[in-house]
Chain A
Amino acid sequence: MDRAPLIMLVLRRAIAPLLLASIATLAGGCRTVEPWERGALAAPRMQDEPHGPHAGFVDHVRQSREASAAGNGSSGGGCGCY
């Protein structure tokens, strides 16, 4: 088996802190954000996926390339055997 490169070890160490930071951020999310404060949230850059067509195609390819990549629920299937 091949040895893991350094970047993998760094990433492994980064995942746990990232998760903790996410949970901490979520826990602190009790601040009331009034509707008139949501201008930035409406910007295209703050959408879940602003590049929808590109992301859709990438997801479609991954579904046939990675066993762990699940469909997004809108795919009708297809063999994807390529």
Chain B
Amino acid sequence: MVVTRRLLAWLRALGRPVLARTAKRRGRRRRPAQPGRLPLARNGSASRAPGRACLEALTTAALALPGLAASAEPRDELRLQYGRYEEDDRRLPGVQSRFDPIDVDYLNLGATVGLLDRWNFSLDYFQDTWSGATPIASAPQSLFGNRASAPDGVSGATPYVVGDLSFDGDFQVLESDLFGTLTGRPDPGLVHTLSSASPETRKEVDFGLDYAWDDATLAGKGGISVEPDYLSGFARLEGGIDLARKRTRLELGTTIARSAIDSHLDHDAVPYLDFSSYAGEIHNRRSGSPVLRETRTDWTLDAGLRQILTPTTRISTSLRYERSQGYLANPYKAVEVAFIDPEQQFLAPPGGYYGSVHALLERRPDERNQLIWSTQLLQDVAAIHGALSLRYALAHDDWGIDAHTLEAQWRQQLGTTWLVTPRFRYTSQGAADFYRPFLVSQQAYQTVVSDPDGNILSITPFDPGLLPGDYSGDHRLSAFGVVSGGIALQKRLFRGFVLDLGFEYSRYAGSLRLGGGGEASFTRYDSWLVNASLRIDLATLALVREGDRERGRAQGSAGVGAAGSEADGHAGAHAEGHARAEAGAASVHGAGHAPAGVMYAHALPRAGDFMIGYRTMYMRRDGDIVNGSKALSDGEIIAGACGAAACSSAGESMAHQMHMLDLMVAPTSWLTLLLMPSYVDQEMRLRALDGAVPDVHANHDHHATGGFGDTRFGPIVGLLHRDHYQANLALIVSAPSGDTSVRFRRDHQSERGFVHYDMQLGSGTWDFVPALSFQGEHGRLRFGAQTSATIRMEEEGPTGYALGDEAQLTAWGGARLTDWLGVTLRALYTHQGRIHGRYDRPIVVRTPHDLPGNSGGELFDLGFGVAVGIPRGAFEGMQLSLEWIQPVAEDFRGDQLERTGTLAATWGMVF
């Protein structure tokens, strides 16, 4: 036991709690003794002489050093991560685009679980939501691709991808003003033509399973990624073997990914973009809108070598081959081509040419073979607890892109819990062979033959054979360099919590290319990203809990036989230690957990407790448009659901998902403080109404929004807390951190204004959310009730309206079937008020969801819940609850989309 404690203490000092668990697990397996390996008996004591055993213990731990077998080390870990990426404005001479630059919100939730002794299972959920403008093409400035359509030069900026240009005798573009008048100077150069899309969300689920032998690992991974226009799945197999007593490690891996592209061709761009080279791949959706359907396959093979060189130096090198086949282009990028028709030059300047500019969907080769060699050197400087990491990578492919990357990090440990890493990275990339930001072709775009009466006899399109076989103006395929600098911080908090923060700023510019020769300055832009993640190392947490228990037991034992007040003191300490150690398990069995869809009912039972949780609600609507409780026909919707206007389309389905981080701390035994930031993503599909006046917007039948939602915080006051029942009063405030000014993009030369009211990301107002809850248990039975309200504390939000007040009454009963499984049945009555006011700027009303009067109602639902609590092991104290809330009856105000139901899920852990 003494040796085991020493070993664990040494391992903790190493700061690698995972090793502790590794050693502990190996002890449990009772493997036969091997040279250089410590056989631990079942109770954890060494079976050899203490001195020798101690040395061997250290040897065992050192042999199991991570880094050489990192991919398969058992790690019971939970991960939460949020990241944000933003770009600055693109350089658009002569016009100030109204488009916001691109921004991306990134979310990752994941867990790795040790199964059996040497198996690990991991599950990760990723989500990206992006919005903003990106270049659709690049063109000479004289084409005025980012032309302002409003006098202020800002508010109406919109992309133009067709037009006219004049050239001199050497086919150099001549500068002209917006009215086509030549200035006599050469054109100053290319600019990007920006286009904006409505927000979109990508969701991905990955899973992995790995097995570790003593000197080898094998892992399998897989995942699926879903976007409205892109479905992708991958599978990966990788393995590694340790040689020379783990001084050397060889790794081999292979990945295959299959993707299906289902790209909705922008109805606003269809008249202006030439899709003729993909005519065979374009199909019509049920709504009539055209889509480009393609597939691609990516296959990789990679091999790596890691080597310990000295006690302070490691090096690793890897070679990776990637082969991609299929549709490798980007369906949202075009190349501007100036067609100079030799027969139609009556508009040409003297000695020059006239060209008609058209945008062709880009074409890339349908195959790519890429080779990447990467080497990393790690040098420890023990005297100052720092380490230097240098990495160089060389990439080469048969598209002609060569790239060099150099990355340097200085990793400085400060104390035992901080790791601070300034990072620098430089990349230089050559251009693809087929990179063409702008093309000139000496042929007509179309040759029209007419008879003397003006009747068209034939139209002959341009000859693709006179253009390059492949062409792309995507600036990511150009020659440029990137300089990035940033810092990453890691702080090991208490009880196995690890906080990571990171920041990086990057500049992309042709002038930064190694040796010069990069693309001109129109492609230059800056970007930055921030990242925050919290990891919970459950192995460390288990050790801490075990320590708490041991202390509690020891104190309890010491108290036995002691006299009077001293004994009382020990008993108190025992009770406190034991109670804290058992807090998680108690919260599983106790009366403290309501069904997953009930919020603010739970308070922490002990002063000093801390809880971290995750809560998600997925609400779905599809079916008919309902007025009151009556389904409407399309004719009734057209006539009456859009007020004075006639509806042209209506919601076919709508999904609303809210992710919430649930943080609680109890400063006293009767008061719990709650903080709940949220992240929201929503998706709506529209359908054209039968009999409606045709509307170009109806073809744009899908849109989505996403981003930070409202943030809730406040106290939960314990009114009553007994062994088998408790009552709490929550006084929550909701801060309007969710955006309520999300707009549709401009299309067909018109502004459509804000998105539907129920697609905004928050309420827009400060809200007060009181909730009075009662919960109890009797034997195996559980029961409870809650009354709650949402009261808007402002008349209107920043965009002119306020959501209606809400009130809810709910009651539930259930049973604990086993010590880890419980079920509940719940009834809910909800009153929702109507939206007050309306958007303070004009919007295009074409669906029932655009009218504030179509909101609110009386709702009656039933909830079916299940709760799983983990009473022991690394995940001890964790509770997972699920509840399906089924609509039973509804009386809507106005015309609203029928409800399908809500899935609520919560995960929580008390520390």
Are A78 and B488 in contact, CB atoms less than 8 angstroms apart?
no
Residue on A with the closest CB to B479? A1
Contact with B along A24-55 (1 / 0, CB 8 A): 01101101110111111111111110111111
Are B70 and A39 in contact, CB atoms less than 8 angstroms apart?
no
Are A79 and B229 in contact, CB atoms less than 8 angstroms apart?
yes
* Contact stretch, chosen from B501-509, B674-682, B825-833, B834-842: B501-509
Task: Give the CA-CA distance A79 to B197 in the complex, in Å.
Answer: 14
Are A77 and B298 in contact, CB atoms less than 8 angstroms apart?
yes
Are A77 and B259 in contact, CB atoms less than 8 angstroms apart?
yes
Knowing A25-B313, A51-B500, A78-B204, say if A42 contacts B518 (CB, 8 Å): no
Overall SS of chain B's interface: strand
Query: Which of A5, A39, A45, A50 has the most CB atoms of chain B within a 10 A radius of its CB?
Result: A45
Task: Give the CA-CA distance A39 to B13 in the complex, in Å.
Answer: 11
Knowing A40-B382, A81-B332, say if A8 contacts B247 (CB, 8 Å): no
Residue on B with the closest CB to A21? B377
Task: Give the CA-CA distance A8 to B261 in the complex, in Å.
Answer: 39
Task: Give the CA-CA distance A73 to B322 in the complex, in Å.
Answer: 10
Shortest Cβ distance from B265 into chain A, in angstroms?
14
Are B130 and A82 in contact, CB atoms less than 8 angstroms apart?
yes
Knowing A22-B375, A68-B427, A78-B204, say if A33 contacts B308 (CB, 8 Å): yes
Task: Give the CA-CA distance A4 to B483 in the complex, in Å.
Answer: 13
Report if B599 contacts A (CB, 8 A).
no
Are B225 and A78 in contact, CB atoms less than 8 angstroms apart?
yes
A81 / chain B contacts, CB cutoff of 8 Å: 134, 330-332
How many residues of chain B have a CB within 8 Å of chain A? 130
Task: Give the CA-CA distance A53 to B529 in the complex, in Å.
Answer: 13
Knowing A45-B411, A54-B533, A66-B427, say if A26 contacts B516 (CB, 8 Å): no
Residue on A with the closest CB to B80? A53
- Checking B300, B421, B426 against A73 with a beta-carbon cut-off of 8 angstroms, the contacting residue is B300
Task: Give the CA-CA distance A46 to B429 in the complex, in Å.
Answer: 29
Are A60 and B106 in contact, CB atoms less than 8 angstroms apart?
yes
B380 / chain A contacts, CB cutoff of 8 Å: 40-41, 43, 45-46
Are A74 and B232 in contact, CB atoms less than 8 angstroms apart?
no
Shortest Cβ distance from B381 into chain A, in angstroms?
9
Residue on B with the closest CB to A31? B310
Residue on B with the closest CB to A32? B247
Report if B618 contacts A (CB, 8 A).
no
Contact with A along B374-385 (1 / 0, CB 8 A): 011110101001
Shortest Cβ distance from A79 into chain B, in angstroms?
4
Knowing A8-B516, A15-B392, A22-B392, say if A67 contacts B476 (CB, 8 Å): yes
Task: Give the CA-CA distance A74 to B208 in the complex, in Å.
Answer: 10
Knowing A67-B432, A78-B232, say if A22 contacts B377 (CB, 8 Å): yes
Contact with A along B492-517 (1 / 0, CB 8 A): 00000000111010001111111111
Residue on A with the closest CB to B411? A45
- Checking B59, B229, B406 against A35 with a beta-carbon cut-off of 8 angstroms, the contacting residue is B59
Are A48 and B515 in contact, CB atoms less than 8 angstroms apart?
no
- Checking A4, A39, A57 against B83 with a beta-carbon cut-off of 8 angstroms, the contacting residue is A57
Are A43 and B513 in contact, CB atoms less than 8 angstroms apart?
no
Give B residues with C-beta under 8 Å from A. 14-16, 19, 36, 55, 58-59, 62-63, 65-67, 70, 79, 81, 83, 85, 102, 104, 106, 108, 128, 130, 132, 134, 202, 204, 206, 221, 223-225, 227, 229-230, 232-234, 236, 238, 245-247, 253, 255, 257, 259, 261, 298, 300, 302, 307-317, 320, 322, 330-332, 370, 372, 375-378, 380, 382, 385-387, 390, 392, 395, 397, 399, 401-406, 411-413, 419, 421, 426-429, 432, 476-477, 481-483, 488, 490, 500-502, 504, 508-521, 527, 529, 531, 533, 535
- Given A29-B310, A75-B225, 11 more A-B residue pairs with CB atoms under 8 Å apart are A4-B516, A18-B390, A33-B308, A35-B62, A35-B65, A43-B15, A43-B413, A68-B427, A75-B234, A76-B223, A77-B259
List 9 tightest A-B contacts by C-beta distance, closest first. A77-B232, A68-B403, A54-B502, A2-B511, A4-B516, A29-B309, A35-B62, A53-B533, A76-B225
